[in-house]
């Protein structure tokens, strides 16, 4: 489905923006001409790698979830519509009750 592709592209875009922001922050934190300690750089790069891995895992999990949902909806369209209708009615009833 086209929405899966859009979500995947958006997640990749967010990963790239995050990486760029982290690089900019690292460059701003270390003034030119001064070298930070190698252990600090190693720890920072390990933290960045861990963060990127976590974001990548999240992106893969979301993509897989959307693909599975698309397959399930395609296999059982009537049940999906009825389920969505019931959920919508319940949410409407709960929100309407609070007013």
For residue range 34-50, list pLDDT tens digits in order.
Answer: 544 555 566 668 888 88
CA–CA dist 46, 48 (Å, integer): 5
pTM score, whole prediction: 0.47
Please write the tens of the pLDDT for every residue from 70-91: 999 999 999 999 999 999 999 9
CB atoms within 10 A of CB 51: 14
- Residue 35 backbone phi and psi in degrees, to 5: -100, 135
- Cβ–Cβ < 8 Å for 36, 26: no
- Residue 37's region, left for phi above 0, alpha for psi from -120 to 50, else beta, is beta
């Amino acid at each position: 489905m086209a929405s899966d592709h859009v979500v995947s592209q958006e997640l990749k875009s967010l990963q790239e923006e995050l990486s760029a922001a982290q690089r900019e922050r690292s460059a701003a934190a270390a003034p030119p001409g001064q070298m930070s300690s190698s252990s600090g750089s190693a720890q920072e790069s390990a933290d960045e790698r861990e963060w990127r891995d976590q974001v990548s895992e999240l992106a893969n999990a979301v993509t897989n979830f959307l693909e599975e949902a698309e397959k399930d909806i395609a296999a059982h369209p009537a049940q999906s519509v009825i389920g969505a209708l019931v959920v919508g009615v319940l949410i409407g009833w709960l929100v309407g009750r609070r007013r």
